[in-house]
Structures are given as structure tokens and as C-alpha cells.
Amino acid sequence: MLRRCCLLLLALVVSVGVLPGAPTYAADKGAKHVKVPSAGKAVDTSSPDRWVGNGTPASCTSAAVVRAVKKGGIIRFRCGPDPIRIVMKATAKVVNTSKRVVLDGEGKVTLSGAGKRRILYQNTCDKNQIWTTSHCNDQSYPKLVVQHLRLVQGNSTGKKLDGGGGGAIFARGGRLKIVDSTFVRNRCDKSGPDLGGAAVRVLDQFHDLPVYVVGSRFKGGRCSNGGALSSIGVSWSVYNSVFTKNKAIGHGANPARAGTKGGGSGGAIYNDGNTMRLYVAGTTMTDNHANEGGGAIFYVSNDRSGTLAITWSTLKRNVSEGFETVPGIFFLGKKRTITHSIVR
């Protein structure tokens, strides 16, 4: 949460919309493809540990997905030659004894929460998923990888364990990586000062290593904060991705103003915590919206040790109804750098 020492500055920003003298950034450059480090690339799934389905669309069921995720390993789909949509009747939950869980949709599989439930759940501090260590916040596994997959209409509304959020994916502990995946119309609770992540909510990563989001698309997410991504104390490396028409729909910011339930910040991305880094490269953010701060990005490092870097990216028409430090961005931290980018 924003510390009380931030409130005076926050009040100033709210009163004027943008900090006095804050520059805008625009150049004849903007988003272009950026080379991805090896840690952010897709996993080789040519030798899967298990399959969902036996070759027919009818065999690719919610129950088959849930069973495969529970067993872990590299998972691929045999659902026939055509694209398929699997409506999840239960949330697929990672068991914490799994070293890795890789879901590879090969560009043909959509998992849908049908607007009723969260799609994927990983939590190393949830004893129901087997508690493997007293240091559950900082263990190296499970390593959850979602690649070449569509996750749509996930909904975690009312799921408040560990703060809630994560309509499509909730991940606490271990590692998470997302590659070439699409998230559309995901939802989480409409209000709450720190609750967020219509598509993805992350708490803790092993050794504070970043969550990689690579070549992925986020559209039409709605949550109190973070219409696409949200985290507490987590670093992110976002490459070559697209965020559009996501909304932070809460009211009252953080801490919540009197008479409100709080929220409304980070139309696309909501980051809160202490020492953390948000790196955005080769990415486009357009037409995202925040009822409070940061139409595209809300970033607060409470102890001012965190950094935000944006490069070779385009951020346009991201509306901050309440406050921002540059167009579409609210930043409190150690250092913010914007290079080779269009921000307006």
C-alpha cells in the first residue's frame, strides 16, 4: 500500500492531474520488436510428459485439464486439427510438489472461465496444494509456464485468499512465465485498494526474479486495479506485447479515500511494493483507462528503491481520470527512464 508519507505528494498530483513541469515523451520511434533474453523464451515441449485429450475434441475437457495440471510436467493438447475452446468447470490448480507445469496450447487452444471462475491457480503458501517449506514465499518451484494459449473470461470475483485478483491466473511463489498468449475479457473484484489483476495477479517470485510476459496480448480486462496485470513486490519484464482497452474500475485509490472502497489505478498494469523493477520493451499500450491513477501504468515503490524502464514502446490514449506523472503513467520510485518511445 502507499505509505502515509506519499499522501501529500499524491494529493498534489490529484489536484493538478499531472505533476507541474512533468515532461511528455514523443519521438518518431515507438514500438518495435525487441530481442528477448533466453530466460523469457518459450519452453521446448517436443517431449511432453502428458497430454490433454486423445485426439478428438470431445476428449479435451475441463476435467482433463484439471488432472493434467495437478500431475504437472510438460502438458500439450490432442484435440483434433481445429482450434478448440475448453470451458473450465473448475479451476486448474498447481500442486506445489511439481517442479514445473508447462501448458502449451500450440496456438489452437482456448481455456475459458465462462465468466464464472478463475482458470489457473498456483500458491506455494496454500497448504491445500501441499506446503513444502516454511519459506513458501521464496521457493524455486513450481515453475509455471503458459505459452501459445488463449485464456478468456476468467473471473476471480469473491476469491479473496491472499488478497484476491487474478481472473485468469493467480500465482504466488515459485516462478511464472507467459509467452505468446492472449487474455481477453477477464475479471476480478470491482473494488479494493490493493486488489488487482483482471488477467494475472502475482505475489512473490523465487529470489525476486522477474515474471516474463513475452509476445502476449491483453484486451478488455476489468478489475479494481490492474486491468491486465497486478502484483505486490514483484518485478516484471514485459516484451513485445499489446495491452488495449483494459480498465481499472475501482474508486478511491490507495489508501482508500473516505467514503470509498478504494482502487481504480493501473488501467493495464498495477505494481506496488518496495524493491522491484518493471521493464517494458517493444510493447504497445493503447486506450486503457483508470478511474484514479495511471491509465496505462501505476507504479509505486514504497521505499523509493524500485525502477521503471520503458523502451521502444508506444503508450497512447491511456486515460488517467485522477492523477498521473506523465501521460498514462503514475510513478513513485527511485528512477524512471523512457527511451525510444512514444508516450502521450
Q: What is the pLDDT of residue 209?
A: 97
User: What SS3 class is residue 16?
Assistant: helix
Sheet bearing 92-93, strands edge to edge: 92-93, 120-123, 169-172, 200-203, 229-232, 269-273, 297-301, 329-332
Neighbours of 306 (CB within 10 A): 25
Higher pLDDT, 30 or 291: 291
Kindly tell me if the per-residue pLDDT of 336 is higher than 70: yes
Q: What is the pLDDT of residue 26?
A: 57
Between CA 280 and CA 294 the distance in angstroms is 15
pLDDT (average), residues 272-300? 98
Residue 265 near residue 253 (C-beta atoms within 8 A): yes
Q: How confident is the model at residue 134 (pLDDT cuts 50, 70, 90)?
A: confident
pLDDT (average), residues 46-60? 98
Domain boundaries, the chain: 4-343
Q: What is the pLDDT of residue 29?
A: 81
Residue 86 near residue 109 (C-beta atoms within 8 A): yes
Kindly tell me if the per-residue pLDDT of 17 is higher than 80: no
Between CA 232 and CA 201 the distance in angstroms is 9
Q: Could you read off the pLDDT of 80-107 as tens digits, one per residue?
A: 999 999 999 999 999 999 999 999 999 9
Q: What is the pLDDT of residue 23?
A: 56
Q: How confident is the model at residue 190 (pLDDT cuts 50, 70, 90)?
A: very high
Residues constituting the chain? 344
Specify whether the backbone of 193 is left (phi greater than 0), alpha (psi in -120 to 50) or beta.
Answer: alpha
Kindly tell me if the per-residue pLDDT of 343 is higher than 70: yes
Between CA 163 and CA 9 the distance in angstroms is 26
Neighbours of 47 (CB within 10 A): 7
Cell of 260: 470509498
